[in-house]
């Protein structure tokens, strides 16, 4: 039996965002902040990470400070200036947070993909 959804099903793309909030629904951590922390760790620079993602430095700084305030400890270590310029790295807790969010995302991504595949299969029947 041919479904009316037919050929259009191959054009459907899955998109979603994950974020975590506190008990007052204030955002703590999500895909954007996770990507930012990963890039800071990779590039050793918050400015370089902001430039790559198209985020403003000031807003990013404020967002990362909110995460630190929520958890009660720093996620970033900053070293200013000097001959080679400054750099920013993640603290051990920052690296742990990124790693945990990586693992969480991997789990959620596979489950959501399975659900999406079932959705398409159902429409194909």
CA distance 103 to 60: 23
3-state secondary structure of 70: helix
Separation of CA 29 from chain center: 8
Mean pLDDT of 22-30: 94
| Residues counted in the chain | 125
| pTM for this model (two decimals) | 0.85
DSSP assigned state of 20: E
The residue that leads in pLDDT, 80 or 52, is: 52
What are the beta bridge partners of residue 20?
29
Tens digits of residue pLDDT in 1-12: 567 898 899 999
Q: Which long-range contacts (CB under 8 A, 24 or more apart) does 106-112 make?
A: 108/18, 112/14, 112/16
Q: Which residue has the higher pLDDT, 90 or 82?
A: 90
Q: Which CATH class is domain 16-124?
A: mainly alpha
Please say whether the beta carbons of 28 and 70 come within 8 A.
yes
């Amino acid at each position: 039996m041919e479904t009316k959804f037919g050929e259009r099903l191959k054009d459907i793309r899955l998109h979603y965002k994950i974020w975590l909030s506190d008990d007052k629904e204030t955002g703590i951590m999500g895909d954007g902040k996770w990507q930012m922390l990963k890039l800071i760790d990779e590039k050793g620079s918050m400015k370089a990470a902001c430039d790559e993602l198209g985020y403003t430095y000031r807003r990013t700084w404020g967002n990362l400070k909110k995460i630190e305030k929520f958890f009660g400890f720093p996620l970033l270590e900053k070293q200013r200036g000097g001959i080679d310029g400054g750099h920013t790295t993640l603290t051990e807790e920052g690296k742990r947070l990124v790693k945990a969010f990586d693992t969480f995302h991997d789990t959620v991504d596979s489950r959501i993909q399975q659900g999406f595949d079932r959705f398409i299969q159902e429409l194909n029947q």
